[in-house]
Amino acid sequence: MLQPTLIDLEAFFTANNSIFRRTLNGLVQLETRISDHDVPLLITADAGQLVSALLNLILNAREASKEGSSIRVSVRREAGKVAIVIRDYGLGMSPEEVKHAVEPFYTTKGLAEGSGLGLAMVDGFMNQSGGELRVDSRPGVGAAVSLLFQLAASEALPDCHIVGRAVAGAGQTILLVEDDVQIRDVVEMALENAGYKVSLTANGDEALAKIKSASHVDFLISDLMMPWRLSGEQLIAAVRTLKPTPPVPLMTGYAAHVPGQHPILIKPFKLKDLLSTVARLLKESDIQSAQA
């Protein structure tokens, strides 16, 4: 199920460019060009799914590119529509490969290198969004993948805000405790992109040691069930014997073991829910401190 929202693409890319660049690991450069700065380029789409689609296409472009080359993302008006174009200068595809590119399970990669579902999923997202996916490529020249959306008016969704930057932080330091590397990386990127400083640990014992060492921490987010000695709940109890702390959101994939006295984020959760939870708890903590 998609949750379409009115998206200002210039604000959208300003908010998410750091995530897109980090997927390239510095091996390939990312260049973003947005035309018509004086006129908002608005589309109606699910913002989270749009991020996923672009990450998919940028990763594909990276894999087709040589180290040290570049990928260009362009946003422009095109025949009454808005086009987001991801352009690489890598291997390219033959006309026959382009013809089958969006078919499920079709891939030009070797065994265990790709499922062949990436472009098919992006194509499905575009169809659901009333848009179109277009692939242009030639061998040795590279490829350009275009996402074509209908240009939306600012009044298209009067009950929805225009999506730009997520709920912003003010440089607060957040200690993130999570043993799953992939989840930790994604949550770290989301928090840093929203304006927070992030300190990482893989378990409760490491987190408690860091707090005891007088490291400055404004906020704590922890997994509920972790290896080593301390669980998320035990970590919170130990921290509160050392210093006052705002409510600590716990992340868990085990709904049957959810403690009722803590804010809970059930995995998989949406990053916007994570950010809104952090912002709300920090605000409530500030209000309580001012009243004390």
Task: For residues 260 and 270, give the distance between their C-alpha atoms in angstroms, rounded to a whole number.
Answer: 20
User: pLDDT by residue (tens digit) across 111-126?
Assistant: 334 434 468 888 888 9
286's tokens = 């500030």
Give this prediction's pTM. 0.56
Phi-psi region at 252: left, alpha or beta (left = phi > 0; alpha = psi -120 to 50): beta
Task: For residues 219 and 258, give the distance between their C-alpha atoms in angstroms, rounded to a whole number.
Answer: 21
AA identity, residue 89: Y
> Per-residue pLDDT averaged across 52-65, rounded?
88
Is the domain spanning 5-150 CATH 3.40.50.300? The answer is no
Task: For residues 35 and 290, give the distance between their C-alpha atoms in angstroms, rounded to a whole number.
Answer: 45
Burial class (CB in 10 A: 0-12, 13-18, 19+), 50: buried
Task: For residues 258 and 255, give the distance between their C-alpha atoms in angstroms, rounded to a whole number.
Answer: 6
CA nearest neighbour of 207 among 236, 187, 183, 184: 236
Q: What is the pLDDT of residue 165?
A: 43
Domain boundaries, the chain: 5-150, 173-291
User: pLDDT by residue (tens digit) across 160-203?
Assistant: 444 444 456 778 999 999 998 878 888 887 888 788 999 999 99
User: pLDDT by residue (tens digit) across 212-263?
Assistant: 987 788 999 999 988 778 999 999 999 999 888 888 999 988 765 666 678 8
Q: What is the CATH number of domain 173-291?
A: 3.40.50.2300
Phi-psi region at 40: left, alpha or beta (left = phi > 0; alpha = psi -120 to 50): beta
